[in-house]
Structure formats: structure tokens, C-alpha cells
Amino acid sequence: MKRVVLGLLAATAMSVSAFAADDKPAVIYDLGGKFDKSFNEAAFNGAEKYTADSGVKYREFEIQNEAQREQALRKFASDGNSPIVIAGFSAAAAIEKVAAEFPDTKFVIIDAEVDKPNVRSVVFNDNEGSYLVGVIAAKSSKTGTVSFIGGMDVPLIRNFGCGYVGGVKATNPDAKVIQNMTGDTPAAWNDPAKGGEIAKSQIDQGSDVIFAAAGGTGIGVLQTAADADKLAIGVDSNQNGLHPGKVLTSMLKRVDVATYNAFKDAADGKFTPGVNVLGVKEGGVDYAVDENNAKLMTDDVKKAVEAAKADIISGKIKVHSYFSDNACPYK
């Protein structure tokens, strides 16, 4: 009996060791860098948490140009890394090509859908989270004018803007919402100076709450708003602490959870391909409250946004998706 037990223990130790050896996750960040305080950094935080919890290290790469997406995917796959998480909708074509070349490698793309048997596509109902912060903006504005600054002018960011306008207008039909995009190239994700210029222009037009969904560009928006004693709303990661008392809230997009779950599911043998849609109901998007903005989130504001959140979860409120018709009905 003793010999059998020892044999089982040895077999278990060997299988765990072999399993750990197969656990070789990797993450590829989108343009803007992993420390953008926003989208990419959320992916980084998820990867870091996985390492902290499991002790398994991951590989990472920050692309500097469009061509490097496919190059990095192929390099990691060739080296035996799996799963490979890549952040950003712009990687769709590259991952579709490389996933077909490496059918035994698990891939995860965030913010786009790729129909391959070894690809998990994680998409978020950004319109729902943006609706919530729109409610907060409308309840907090003193001028009745709020604004939105997007990064690259693409449907994904239009979806953010549309949801935001929906939340504002549902709360204050007479509110004015100013909208601007930073640009139409990937450089729009990492231009804090231009973000600051657009924010100043919006403030000059009366906006006292600015929501930035613009990656690293948003850092300039938050800085300019704080300097002008106005309020800003962060995105993707919790940006409340960047300017305590000046960031009204942040629209949380749980890219960190999507990254962590991809790594852990693969390690546990529970990885599934297909499309994962994460909205308010699934905890994929939300708004942030912490010690940095607690005084800004009055009882009146919290009551309004929690009511909206409950109605989205129940289905009473259906936030329009820009993707459905490339249009936004909220005026």
C-alpha cells in the first residue's frame, strides 16, 4: 500500500510538473505601450496578477508599428507560448492568419471577433459602461454641458461616445454633449498633447465634465481638466488616482480579468474558444468608486447611477449599440 501511495504521489508530482512546463502564457500590447494607464495597462495588470497567484511567468511584447502584431504572434507561437493574448481590435487580421498556422496554440483577442477554433474573442459592451458614466456626468455637471474625447475614429470608440450621450440625455434631456475624436490613425491613441488641446477647446465651450476614451491620449485630457479645475472621467483602468478629487469616475473595462481568465483557463485545462461578451450584467464594464473620488460621488449621483445599472441588468434599459447600424439615436 505504501509503495502504491508513493507511486501515485510521484505520478501526480510529475503530471503537475509537466503541466506547469506547458503553461507558457504571453501577452502582446497594442500601440500606446503597456503603461498607458488605460487599456494596455489593464492587460498588464491581469497578467501580473496571474503571475502573483500562480508563480508562472509570462512573456510580453509592446508593438511599435502595425507589422509587429503578426511578427510577435508568430514568434511567440513558434516558441511554444500558449495562450497568447493580444490586446486591440486592430490585431484581428493578424491573429486570423497566425491562428490558422498554429492550430494547437490558444489565442485570445480583446475587442474583436475572430472565428477560429483555437481563438477566444473577448468583446465588451462599452456602450453600457459609457451610459453609466454619462449618468454620473449629467448629475455632476454644473453648466449642463459635458463632453467626450475619443482616440482613433473607429466604430469601437463611436460606441463609447454613443453610450455616453445616451446616459447623459436620459438623465438631463436638455444637456449639451460636445464630441471630438483625436484622429483617424493609430497615433491617436498616444498623443497626450493633442488630447489636452481638445480638452481645453471643450472647456472653452462650457464643458465641465470630460470623458476620454482615448488610451494614452486621455492622460493629457485628465491633466488639462484638473489644471482647469474641471472634472474628467477615465477609461478602461481605474484612473481616479491620477488626479484625486478631479477625476469624477472611471469607466472600468475589465481587460485585466479577461487576460487573467485566459491564462488561468488554459492552465486549468478549461480554455474555450468562441466569443465572450462582457457587459454590465457580466461585470465586464462598470464605474469606479474609491477614496480618490468618494466625495464627488454624492448620494444623489450614486442613487441615479445604481438605478440605471439595475435597469440595464434587468433589461429595462437597452443601451443602443453603434455596431448595430453605425449610428447613434441619442440627440
CA atoms within 13 A on the CB side of 177: 26
Instruction: Tell me the DSSP string of 70-84.
Output: HHHHHHHHHTT-BSE
Question: Is the peptide bond preceding residue 83 cis, with omega within 30 degrees of 0?
Answer: yes
Separation between Cα atoms, residue 43 and residue 110, nearest integer Å? 9
Residue 10 is which amino acid?
A: A
pLDDT averaged over every residue in the chain: 92
100-136 residue pLDDT tens: 999 999 999 999 999 999 999 999 999 999 999 999 9
Residue 244 has pLDDT above 70, yes or no: yes
**Domain 126-253+284-314 part of CATH 3.40.50.2300:** yes
> pLDDT value at position 331?
84
14-41 residue pLDDT tens: 333 334 457 899 999 998 889 988 889 9
249-284 residue pLDDT tens: 999 999 999 999 999 999 999 999 999 999 999 999
Parallel, antiparallel, or unpaired for β 84-87 and 26-29? parallel
> pLDDT value at position 20?
46
Residue 106 is which amino acid?
A: K
Q: Among 19, 124, 17, 12, which Cα is nearest to 82's?
A: 19
- Helices vs strands, H then E, count in the chain: 11, 12
Q: How many residues does the chain have?
A: 331
Separation between Cα atoms, residue 127 and residue 146, nearest integer Å? 17
Interval 198-219 mean pLDDT = 97
Q: What is the pTM of this model?
A: 0.86
Coil, helix or strand for 62?
A: strand
Do the domains at 26-124+256-282 and 126-253+284-314 have one common CATH topology?
yes
CATH topology of domain 26-124+256-282: Rossmann fold (3.40.50)
| Position 12 confidence tier, pLDDT thresholds 50, 70, 90 | very low
Separation between Cα atoms, residue 140 and residue 117, nearest integer Å? 46
Specify the higher pLDDT residue, 182 or 18. Answer: 182
Q: Where are the domains of the chain?
A: 26-124+256-282, 126-253+284-314
